[in-house]
Amino acid sequence: MQSKLLAPYEIREMTFKNRVVMSPMCMYAVEKKDGIVTDFHFTHYGSRAVGQVGLIMLEATAVLPEGRISEQDLGIWSDDQIAGLKKLVAHLHKSGAKVGIQLAHAGRKAQVPGPIYSATKLAFSEKYQTPEALTIPQIETVVSAFQKAVKRAEAAGFDVIEIHAAHGYLVNQFLSPLVNRREDQYGGPIGNRYQFLNEIIEAVRSEWTKPLFVRISAEDYAQEGVHLEDYLMMSRWLRDQGVDLIDVSTGGVIPLEAYDVYPGYQVQYADRIRKKVGIATGAVGMITTGNQAEEILRNERADLVFIGRELLRDPYWVKTSAKLLNAEDQLEVPTPYQRGWR
Ligand SMILES: Cc1cc2nc3c(=O)[nH]c(=O)nc-3n(C[C@H](O)[C@H](O)[C@H](O)COP(=O)(O)O)c2cc1C
């Protein structure tokens, strides 16, 4: 069978060798609280690159030290962090993978020595620090930190940038009325709550001509929160601002006891945004088999599939899927592995 999963994908004049994306996953593997890449990152990302993942999206990487989830997060707030990232990108390129970086700020979900910041002075839960509400000059500093991070990502040779606007981190804290209670131009109606992301995208696009992705949480799972309808509107704004692909996740804005999770539970959101807005989307969340991924792509419910935990279990998931789909002839085989893979 000709597999769509294994077929190349072109976006903004860049070609990924297949439609498998390694979903961004924090590894908390920085050793000296300096945000710098370690040997572990070379082994971890390197094995997925040898495993023929088309696009490797590096984990949430902090644009400011106070925007880290933990002190073990990767960082891109300083020029000292460029060399390690550059070496890692070059290493992954050797296996033919394209490499992206997810630029992030944890906001009130930061678990680092304070002060920490959010849209509003409202803690995530009693286990978290209470954040300061960002002042307008401080908002400008954060926007400019994203812009500087993009320059560093360019210097490090990344192919794709993804802005982390999901899972209840800082950008999501501005987007959701469950957290954003501001009374200035950044709070209130949806257009105002979008303003922070709007400024970040503008700053990023002024520096970056390559593919730009945004990860969103299309559903807050709370009545008073943000729902798909709101994200359809915001996705149109993102499309019009030159974002190439929306990576569609859900949740994380408020602590939830449990929500209904099942195979492909978020695909419906990627599907609707893709069809109603006319922008490329990535599907993510409990996509674990090649058949499931192929179904999503063939039925045009998303353009790319992001694989998270299954790639932690099986770094050779692309090969496993190629075999399942009877499409091993579409798979590039790393030369040293020829005798094992063919
Ligand atoms: C260990 C781990 C770390 C994660 N870190 C991030 C992250 O840095 N950024 C992000 O957007 N999502 C993160 N996620 C969410 C994944 O990218 C993915 O959306 C989620 O695990 C659902 O996909 P899956 O069922 O294929 O794992 C993380 C998930 C895991 C398991």
Nearest CA to ligand 1 atom 13: 25
- Cβ(59) to ligand 1 under 6 A? yes
- Give 308 Cα–ligand 1 centroid separation in angstroms: 6
- Give 338 Cα–ligand 1 centroid separation in angstroms: 31
Q: What's residue 1's pLDDT?
A: 78
- Cβ(314) to ligand 1 under 6 A? no
Arithmetic mean of pLDDT, 88-93: 98
- Give 339 Cα–ligand 1 centroid separation in angstroms: 33
CA torsion 233→236→241→242, rounded to 10°? 150
- Give 184 Cα–ligand 1 centroid separation in angstroms: 33
Nearest CA to ligand 1 atom 4: 25
- Cβ(11) to ligand 1 under 6 A? no
Arithmetic mean of pLDDT, 150-169: 98
- Segment 133-145, tens digit of pLDDT: 999 999 999 999 9
- Give 282 Cα–ligand 1 centroid separation in angstroms: 13
Arithmetic mean of pLDDT, 297-317: 98
- Segment 101-146, tens digit of pLDDT: 999 999 999 999 999 999 999 999 999 999 999 999 999 999 999 9
- Segment 61-86, tens digit of pLDDT: 999 999 999 999 999 999 999 999 99
Q: Which domains does the chain have, with CATH numbers?
A: 9-341 (3.20.20.70)
- Cβ(310) to ligand 1 under 6 A? yes
Ligand 1 atom at minimum distance from 284 CA? 23
